[in-house]
Amino acid sequence: MAAEVARELRASFAAGRTRPVEWRAAQLRALVKMIEEKEGDISAALHADLAKPHMESYLHEISLAKASCTFALKGMKSWTKPEKVPAAITTFPSTAQIVSEPLGVVLVISAWNYPFCKSMIHCSIDPVIGAIAAGNAVVLKPSEIAPATSSLFAKLLPEYVDNSCIKVVEGGVEETTALLEQKWDKIFYTGSGTVARVVMAAAAKHLTPVALELGGKCPVIVDSNVDLHVAIKRIAVGKWGCNNGQACIAPDYIITTKAFAPELVDSLKRVIERFYGEDPLQSADLSRIVNSKHFNRLTSLVEDKKVADKIVYGGQTDEKQLKIAPTVLLDVPLDTALMTAEIFGPYLPIITVEKIEESIDFINSKTKPLAAYLFTKNKKLQDDFVANVPAGGMLVNDVALHLANPHLPFGGVGESGMGSYHGKFSFDCFSHKKAVLIRGFGGEATARYPPYTTEKQKILRGLINGSFIALILALLGFPREKR
Amino acid sequence: MAVAELGETVSELRQAYESGRTRSLAWRQAQLRGLLRLLKEQQETAFEALHEDLGKHRAEAYRDEVGLLMKSANVALRQLGKWMTPEKVWVPLVAFPATGQIVPEPLGVILIFACWNVPLGLSLEPLIGAIAAGNAVALKPSELSPCTAKFLAENVGKYMDAAAVKVVQGGPEVGEQLMEHRWDKVLFTGSPRVGRAVMAAASKHLTPVALELGGKCPCIFDMMSSARELQIAVNRIVGAKWSCCAGQACLAIDYLLVEERYLPVLLKVLKSTMKRFFSDADAMARIVNARHFQRLSNLLKDKEVAPSILHGGSMDAENLYIEPTILLNPPLDSAIMTEEIFGPLLPIITLKKIEDSIAFVRTMPKPLALYAFTGDAKLRRRIVEETSSGSVTFNDAVVQYAIDALPFGGVGQSGSGQYHGKYSFEMFSHKKAVMKRGYLIELTLRYPPWNERKIALMRHLYRFDYFGFVLCFLGLRR
C-alpha cells in the first residue's frame, strides 16, 4: 500500500503536475475553502479527540491554518522567482542566480506514538502547505492518537485537493514503518526524540534529508522585576490553554528566585481559579488528556510521595473523563521523572534558585529546548538570556506567540530537532536552491589551462583574488601562447 | 589514534566551546587571520603535500584549493560582522508592542570529514564557515591523502586556537569511533555509501548532517555557432575533466552527451586540445592509489566496454597514471555508465537530437552539477526547469565553485546541505527566533473563560481586520 502510494505520487510528480504555480495556488485555495466550509467538523473532531474547547480550536488551529495558506498564496509568486546574485570577477562575464525547485515527493508525519503538538491541525497542515507551495507531491500521515482528526483529514482532503498528488495515509506503527521504507525526497516528522531517531535512521538508507520537530522541556524564567499578574496570565494560558499542557512549546517548568516564589505561587493560584473556576475538571475550557496511556503516564509522574508532597495547587484527576486539573508543584527533587523528562501535561513544577542569573546555567545543564521563555523588564537579563541560552526559539514576556508569526522560523536545535518551518521557511524546507550560472564565450582566460607557465599562474592568482587588472589581462588574451 | 585519546579530544573541544571563547567576533576573526597566515606562510609545503599525495600541479593546487581558500577566508573576515547581526522581522500589529528578530547562534562542536581529492579545500572551506559561525571544530582529513592530512595536523594547531580547532588523523575506524560521539553537526564529503553510514550513525544522537556526495555530472554539448566558440567550449570541457585532479572531482564532467552528427567535429577539437594541454605528463594529476587505479582499469577492461575506447586507454600501474581516455557509446548498463567514474575516462553518448539529453539525464540519479554548452535560450530554460541537480552551469564547468554568492551542494543522491560564502556560516548556525513583548497592552480575550464573543473578536484580529475588531469590541458588530 505504501509502495503504491509512493509510486503513484512519483509518477504524478514526474509528469510535472505539481510544478505550475497555478496548480499550487489552486490547491492552497482549496485548503482554505475546506477549512472555511468544514470548520464545524474540524472543531468537532478536535473536541472528540481532546475535548478541545472551541476557542482553542479556532485560535490555534483553524485560524492559523487558514493564515498559513493565505500567507503562502500571497508569497508564492516572489518565492518561486529566481534570485539573482552577483557573479564574480573570476568568471566575468557571467550571470548567476538561485532557482528554487521542489524536492519531489515528500512525506509529512504528524507525531507517531506520541501526542501531537499544540496545534495539531496546524502542525500537520503547515508543512503540507509549504510542500505544496514549493511544488512537491505530498503524503500526510496524521497521528493515529487523534483518530477523529486523522479520519477527518483522510475524508476531507480528497474532496478538495488534487488526489493524484496529495494523499493522506492513516495508520499506526505498521503503516508508518511501511511508509518509511519507501524512498522520499524529504521526510518531515513531528513528535518524540525516540521515534525521530528511527525516522532519521530509515531516511539514511535512501539519503533522504529530514526535518524533525521534536520537544523538550521549555523553561520559563520569572524574574521579580515584572508585571506579575500579566506575566502569570500569559504563562497560564500558554500552559493550560494549549491542549492543557500537551504542546511542544507549552511551558514545562518555571524557574524563579526563592524569595519571589511565594508571590508567584499565589498569583498562579488566583489566575487558575479565575480561568477555570473552583473545580477545573468541570470547566469546558480545559482540554482532556489524549488517551488513557498518557493519562497514566502523567499521573504516575506524581505518584512518588516525594513529588506528591510538593503539590501546592490542583492535583485533581478524573480517570473516566481523562481529565487532570492544572497542578502547580514547588521544589520537586531534580532527579525525579517529572524533572527529567518532557512533561507534556498539566503539571507545572517551579524550581527556585538563589539569584535569578543562575537560571541560565540551570537551563543550559539540560538539552536544548524547542522554546525558552523569560519574564522580566531587566534589559541586561534579557540580553544575557538571548545570548547565552541556545534554544529553538525564544520569547521574552510572553509564551508561545512566536508560533503565529510567519516571519520567524519555527524549529528546534539539538534534541529539540532540526530544520525549521512556518511562512517562507516552510517553502524553503521543501525546496532545493539550485545554483545556476550562465557564462558566455566572451572572456576566455587561457591562464586556467595547462601547460601551466609562470605567467599564467600569475594571472590566475590575480583572477582568483578578484583583481580587475588580472581580469583585463586575461580578457585581452594574456598570456599569449602559440597555437 | 586510540579510542581513549579520541574521547579526550572530543571532550576538550566540548569544554572549549562551553567556555564561551569561540563566541566572540574577535576570536573568530583571529582564527580566520591565522588560517590566512597558514596558507600564505606554508604555501610551498602545501603544494608539496598535494603533489606528493596526488601529483597535483601547483597551478591546479592554487586554482582549486589554496587560492580559493584564501579568497573565502577574506570574504568571511569582511562579512562576518554582517552575518552575525540579528535580522529584524516584521511582527503583526496584534502583538503590539513587540519586536521580532532572527539571531544566529553557533551549533556547538562540529565534525568535518574531508575527501582525499581536494584534501585541503574540503577540510578548510567548511572550517572557515564553522569558525565564522562561532563553533569548535574537529577536522578528519582522509587517510588516502596522508601528506595533506599530516600537513593539516602539524599546522592547524600552530596557527589557530588548538583547544578549539583540532585535526584527527586516521582511517575508517577512526571515522566510526568519532561518530559514536555526539556532535552538533557533521559535514561529510565523500561517497554515497559512506554518506549513508554517517547519517545512520548521526541519527543515534539526532546530530544534523550535511552530505556532499558525488554523482555522474553530465555535460550536454549542443553544437557551437563558430570555430572560436567551439574551441573555447572544448578548452573548458577538457579543463573540467582532466585538469581537475585527473577527473577525480565531484564536480568534474563525468560523461558527455552530443548529437551524433556533430561527433566528428567535436572529437577532432577534443583530441587536438588534449594533446596541447597535456603535452607535459606533469600537467595532469595521478590516480590517488592502487585501489582506485584498479577500479578504473576494471571499468576499461570490461569486455563490453573495451571496444568503445576511441582515444587513449594506456595505463601505467607503477606511476598510477592513466592516459586521458575517450569512449564512444559504452553500454548504458555497464559500470562505467552506472557508477561515478571519478577518473580520466570520458564516455561520449550520442543522441539523435540534443533535446533528448533532458530525458536521458532524468533517468539518472540527481547529480551534483549539470553542465550544458549551448547558445539556445529555449534549451537552457528547459534544462533548468526539467532537470534537477545541485547546480547548473552553462557554457563552462566547475567554475561555479568559485562564486561565493552561489550555494554549493547536492540534492537527492548527490547530497543535502549547501555551503560557500554566507551559506557556510548558515550551515553551522542555528537561526534562533526571538520575540520580545511588553506589558503595555493586554488582550484579555486571549484568556479563559472563553465565549462566543471572544471568538468573534479573535476572528477579526486574525484577519488583521482592526476596524472590524474595534466595531465588534464596541458591540456594534458580531
Q: List, for residues A438-463, the tens digit of each pLDDT value.
A: 998 876 777 778 888 888 888 878 77
Give yes or no for residue B273 having a pLDDT over 90.
Answer: yes
Decide if A214 contacts A369 (C-beta within 8 A).
no
Distance linking the first and last C-alpha atoms of chain A: 64
| Best to test chain B binding among A206, A368, A464 (most B CBs inside 10 Å) | A464
Do residue B406 and residue A85 have CB atoms under 8 angstroms apart? Answer: yes
In angstroms and rounded to an integer, the radius of gyration of the C-alpha atoms of chain A is 27
pLDDT band for position A91 (50/70/90)?
A: confident
Whether the CB-CB separation of A233 and B447 falls below 8 Å is answered with yes
Q: Which one of B68, B185, B362, B432 makes the best mutation probe of the A interface by having the most chain A beta carbons within 10 Å?
A: B432
* pLDDT single digits (tens) B109-128: 999 999 999 999 999 999 99
Question: Is the peptide bond preceding residue A102 cis, with omega within 30 degrees of 0?
Answer: no
**Single-letter residue type at B55:** G
Task: Check pLDDT > 80 for residue A61.
Answer: no
Distance of residue A202 Cα from the nearest chain B Cα, in angstroms: 8
- Using only C-alpha atoms, chain B has a radius of gyration, in whole angstroms, of 27
| Cβ separation B388–A214 shorter than 8 A | no
The answer on pLDDT for B7 being more than 50 is yes
Nearest Cα residue in chain B from A208 = B412
Furthest C-alpha separation in chain B:
92
pLDDT tens digits, A158-206: 999 999 999 999 988 899 999 999 999 999 999 889 999 999 999 999 9
Instruction: Give yes or no for residue A59 having a pLDDT over 50.
Output: yes
B448:A205 CB<8 A: no
Average pLDDT over residues B78-101: 89
User: Cα(first)–Cα(last) distance of chain B, in Å?
Assistant: 73
> Which residues of chain B lie closer than 8 angstroms to A440, CB-CB?
395
pLDDT of residue A129: 95
Report whether pLDDT(A483) > 50: no
List chain A residues with CB under 8 Å of B283. 450-452
Which residues in chain A have Cβ-Cβ distances shorter than 8 Å to B107? 413
Asked whether residue B421 carries a pLDDT value surpassing 50, the answer given is: yes
Where does the pLDDT of residue A119 fall: very low under 50, low under 70, confident under 90, or very high at 90 and above?
very low
Å from A479 to nearest chain B CA? 15
The ipTM assigned to this model is 0.93
A450 touches chain B (CB under 8 A): yes
pLDDT at position A115 over 60: no
Q: Does position A113 have pLDDT exceeding 70, yes or no?
A: no
Percent of chain A with pLDDT over 90: 68
Helix intervals (H) in A246-357:
261-276, 292-301, 305-308, 337-340
Distance separating alpha carbons of residues B92 and B70, to the nearest angstrom: 43
Q: Residue A39 has what DSSP assignment?
A: H
B389/A434 CB distance under 8 A? yes
A469-473, B182-186, B236-240: least confident range: A469-473
Q: How confident is the model at residue A52 (pLDDT cuts 50, 70, 90)?
A: confident
Q: For residue B403, list chain A residues with Cβ-Cβ distance below 8 A.
A: 85, 87-88, 90-91, 96, 435, 437
A65-74, A285-294, A349-358, B223-232: range with highest mean pLDDT: A349-358
Out of A323-332, B163-172, B229-238, B280-289, least confident range: B280-289
Q: Once rounded to an integer, what is the mean pLDDT over residues B84-88?
A: 96
User: pLDDT at position A440, please?
Assistant: 85
Q: Reply yes or no on whether A213 is catalytic.
A: yes
- Tell me which residue has cell 525526497: A185
CA distance A236 to chain B (A): 9
- Are A449 and B439 inside 8 Å of each other by CB? no
Q: How confident is the model at residue B478, as a pLDDT?
A: 44
List, in sequence order, the alpha helices (H) in A39-146: 39-50, 54-56, 63-79, 120-133
DSSP track, A169-218:
---SHHHHHHHHHS--SEEEEES-HHHHHHHHHHHHHHT--EEEE-----
Q: How far is CA B189 from CA A128, A434, B136, B195, B343, in A?
A: 31, 19, 19, 8, 17
At residue A302, the pLDDT reads 93
Please give the grid coordinates belonging to residue A300: 504516575
Q: Does B381 touch chain A (CB under 8 A)?
A: no
Sorting pLDDT into bands at 50, 70 and 90, what band is A116? very low
Q: Is the pLDDT of residue B95 over 80?
A: no
pLDDT tens readout for residues B212-236: 998 999 999 998 889 999 999 999 9
User: What pLDDT score was predicted for residue A381?
Assistant: 96
Confirm if A400 and A200 have CB atoms less than 8 A apart.
no
pTM: 0.93
Higher pLDDT, A149 or B281: A149
Greater confidence (B463 vs A441) lies with A441
The mean predicted confidence, pLDDT, of chain B is 92
Residue of chain B nearest A193, judged by CA positions: B206
User: Which DSSP string corresponds to A141-153?
Assistant: E--TTSHHHHHHH
For residue A214, is pLDDT > 90?
Answer: yes
Burial class (CB in 10 A: 0-12, 13-18, 19+), A383: exposed
Distance between CA atoms of A121 and A141, rounded to whole angstroms?
Answer: 12
Q: pLDDT-derived band of residue A291, with 50, 70 and 90 as boundaries?
A: confident
Inter-chain residue contact A435 with B184, CB threshold 8 Å: no
